[in-house]
Amino acid sequence: MSDTMQGQPADGAQLINAAVDAFKARERDDAAYLLAKAIQMNPPLGGKWGSVSRMAATIGEVSLALEAARRQIQAQPTAENHLAYAQLLMQNGRADEAARQAAALLRQRPNDPAVLHFLATCQVQLGDHATAEANLRRAIALPTVALGAENAWHVIADIKKFAPGDPDIAQMEALLERIGTSEAHRQNRTVLLYALGKALDDAGETDRAFACFDEAARLQKIDSTFNAERNKAFVDAVVKGYDRAFIDSLPKSEEHSERPIFVLGLPRSGTTLVEQILVSHSQVADGAEANLFRPAAMAIPGYTPEEVRAAFSRPDGATLPTRIAKAYLHLADERFGKGVRFVDKTLNQTQYLGLIRQVLPGAKLIWLRRHPAGIAWSCYRTRFARGVDWTRSMADIAAYFRGQDRLHAHWSAVLGDDLLTVPYEALVDDPETWMRRIIAHAGLEWEDGVRDFHKTERAVTTASFAQVRKPMYASSKEAWKRYEDKLKPFFDAYGAG
C-alpha cells in the first residue's frame, strides 16, 4: 500500500478519502491501513473525526475508532461527543471505562437524561442493578423527560420483578395513555409496550401482557425488512450447494488457530448461558456478540455458494481464506486481548457457518437448540434494537425457524463431530453432564469453578443479562405454556412448512 497520491506524498485528508474508496471496494485491510496512517498524521478534521471513528468501528478497528473519537472530543468537547465516545467503549467490551466516562459526564450534567440513561445501561451490564434503577428513576422524575421516559422504564422492566398491584405498572399505563397512538410517537409507544408487557407478565396478567407484546410487534413490523421468500431462497442455495465436496474444492486457510469458540443458535435459545459457562473457565478470556467475522470477510459480498465461489476465484483468491482469518484474529485481539481464547456468539452466523469453517478450520463450533415454542415466545416478547426483523410476526418467526432447522440439519451432516449440538432443555435438566461436554468440545480441561458460572463477574450485553447471573434453573423451559393458546398462529405457520 502506497502512501503517495499521484506521485506526491499524501496528506491525512487524502488518505482518509482513499480509505473511503477502499471501504467501498470492500478492501477492509487497505481501508484500515489508510485510516491508521491518516490518524497518525493527525490532520485538522474538526468534527469530521466522528465520521472517521464510525468508519473504523464499522470495519472492526476498535483502537482506531476510539482514537478518532478522542480527536473529535479535542476538536469539539461537547457532551454529545463525550457520550458518543463512552457508547463506543461500551459497544466494544469496555463497560467499566464507559461507566467511568459517563459518571464524569454526569458530574458536569447532573440532570441530563441521556447521560443518566447511558450510565444506568452500563451499570446493568456490570450487574449493579440497584444503582442503575436509582439513576433511571432520577431520569424519569426530570420534568424535561416527558414522553421520553419509556426508555428508562424499559430498562427498569428488564431488571425488576413486578408483583400484582405494583404502582410502577400504573405509572407506565398512564404514560402510555399520554403517548397516544400517533405516528409521531410510534417508537415511544413501542418501547413502553414491551416494558409494560413484561411487568404485566410478572404480575400474572397474561392476557393484558400478550396484548402489549402483540401491539408492540405490529408497530415494529411496519419498519421490518425481513422477506421470508428471500430467506428461503438463501437457505435453499446453501443446502443445495454448500456440501463437503464444495468446501473441499475451495482454497484452504493456512490459519489453524483454536482461539475462537463459536456459539451458534437462535436468540433466546441459551447461547448467552453457554457463553457464560465457557468464559468462567480460566483459559477463556471473554465473549460477546462481537460481529467480527463479517467485517473481516467483507471482501465476500454474500454467502451463497455462488458468491463464495466467485470471491475465491479472483486472482488473489487462493490466499483469501488466510487473509480473512488473520483479519478476524486481529479484530479479536482488538476486542478481547492479544492471543487469548474467546467466545463469539454473534447472531446469524449459522448463515455462513461453512465459510467460517473454511477460514478458521481450528475454531470450535457449538450450536444451541431449544423447543421452538420457547424461543418463539421469548423472541416475540423481546425488543431487539436492530437486525432481528423476523421476530415481529408469528408467521415470520415460523418461516425463519424453518430455515434455521434446515441449516442445522445441513451443517450437522456436513461438519459431523466438529459441530456440538446442545439441547437447552437437556442442559438445564442435567447441567453437569452438558457443561463437561461443552468444555471438552472446546478443547479445555474441566475446572470445578465452571459450575459457578453465575458468579463470574463480567459485562453482559444481551437480553439474558439477568439469567446468567443466577444458578441454573429449569423454570424458563416452559414459560411459553402460559401463552400456548396465543401462539396458535406460530404453531399453524411453523407446522405448515
pLDDT tens track for 459-473: 555 554 455 545 555
Q: How far apart are alpha carbons 295 and 27 in whole angstroms?
A: 10
- Determine the average pLDDT of the residues in 397-418: 97
Instruction: Please give the distance of CA 490 from its chain centroid, rounded to a whole number.
Output: 25
- Determine the average pLDDT of the residues in 307-319: 95
Joined together, the cell numbers standing for residue 258 give 483454536
pLDDT tens track for 214-227: 999 999 999 999 99
pLDDT > 90: what percent of the chain?
86
- Of 430, 181, 462, 432, nearest to 343 by C-alpha is 462
Q: How far apart are alpha carbons 429 and 420 in whole angstroms?
A: 18
Q: How far apart are alpha carbons 314 and 304 in whole angstroms?
A: 16
**Is the separation of the CB atoms in 194 and 154 below 8 Å?**
yes
pLDDT score at 6:
47
Lowest average pLDDT, out of 40-49, 71-80, 139-148, 227-236, goes to: 139-148
pLDDT tens track for 114-125: 999 999 999 999
pLDDT score at 438:
98
pLDDT score at 143:
82
pLDDT score at 455:
77
Q: In the chain, where does the domain assigned CATH 3.40.50.300 lie?
A: 228-496
pLDDT > 70: what percent of the chain?
93
pLDDT score at 261:
98
**Total Cβ atoms within 10 A of residue 255:** 18
**Total Cβ atoms within 10 A of residue 234:** 17
**Is the separation of the CB atoms in 395 and 489 below 8 Å?**
yes
Whole-number average pLDDT of the chain: 92
Joined together, the cell numbers standing for residue 337 give 486481548
Q: What pLDDT band is residue 383 in, cutting at 50, 70 and 90? A: very high
Which architecture does CATH list for 228-496? 3-Layer(aba) Sandwich (3.40)
289: phi then psi, degrees, rounded to nearest 5: -80, 75
The answer, yes or no, to whether residue 69 has pLDDT greater than 90, is yes
- Determine the average pLDDT of the residues in 281-291: 94
Q: How far apart are alpha carbons 495 and 394 in whole angstroms?
A: 12
Lowest average pLDDT, out of 330-334, 411-415, 443-447, 456-460, goes to: 456-460
pLDDT tens track for 90-107: 999 999 999 999 999 999
pLDDT score at 181:
95
Q: How far apart are alpha carbons 40 and 77 in whole angstroms?
A: 21
- Determine the average pLDDT of the residues in 151-163: 96
Q: Give residues with Cβ within 8 angstroms of 396, minimum separation 6.
A: 224, 226, 228, 389, 390
DSSP 8-state assignment for residue 126: T
pLDDT tens track for 246-255: 999 999 999 9
Q: What pLDDT band is residue 13 in, cutting at 50, 70 and 90? A: confident
Joined together, the cell numbers standing for residue 277 give 459457562
Prediction pTM value: 0.91
Q: Give residues with Cβ within 8 angstroms of 200, minimum separation 6.
A: 162, 169, 206, 208, 209, 212
pLDDT score at 409:
98
